[in-house]
Amino acid sequence: MPRVITYNLNGIRAAMSKGLIDWMSSAQPDILCLQEIKATPEQVGVFEFEEHGYHHYWYPAQKKGYSGVAIFSKIKPDNVVYGCGIPEYDFEGRVIRADYGDVSVLSVYHPSGSSGDERQAFKMKWLGDFQNYIDELKKTRKKLIISGDYNICHKAIDIHNPKSNANTSGFLPEEREWMEQFINSGFIDAFRYFNQEPHQYSWWSYRAGSRGKNLGWRIDYNLVTKNLEKGLKRSVILPDAMHSDHCPVLLDIEF
């Protein structure tokens, strides 16, 4: 049964210096979907990943030290697709897809709008385009696992202070509405399928000791098409992994 883990590393080199490889040895992901790698394979010692049995596929941004996604996989995929075919997003290295039989796993890094109006507008445009891209993809690849940093808290339960963040990028009404309709277009939020508890977060600000106080946001998801529901076995957040301002989200699924 494959174990899929999504993890925004906020820089793979920094994460490796904090023990990422040892963590991978203990967490044992079969398919590791990474976001914000901020590096090219040439800048990283890939030998260690290969030594641990991983095939690795990278889609860095054109801009150095920025964004970028990757899939590290113990199971060799039949096919890997780099990008979503839209130049302005592919320039930023936001989507990579690996096909395993009739199931496709995507590692996706949604833009953040927190730096200002221009990037927020870019994010909203991306959300519409991403929906269209997935609708189109579903015509040929019906079974999808879309893992990644969505940069959106879906519901009030997914953020430590919904009232004071009501006008904050990542929890804006129009973003949450997008998330709602995207899930309703045929997906299951795997973590919430198993866990309805509050105070479950995957990202914490570096400011004011937020992580120690668990003042976080749940913005990292494994979304699974409904036709894979029978295979869902377990999904948990792994807050003890400390290689980033995010933590990994695990999904055990039979396919």
Q: Which are the catalytic amino acids?
A: 149
Phi, psi (5° rounding) for residue 251? -140, 120
Whose structure tokens read 């990008």?
83
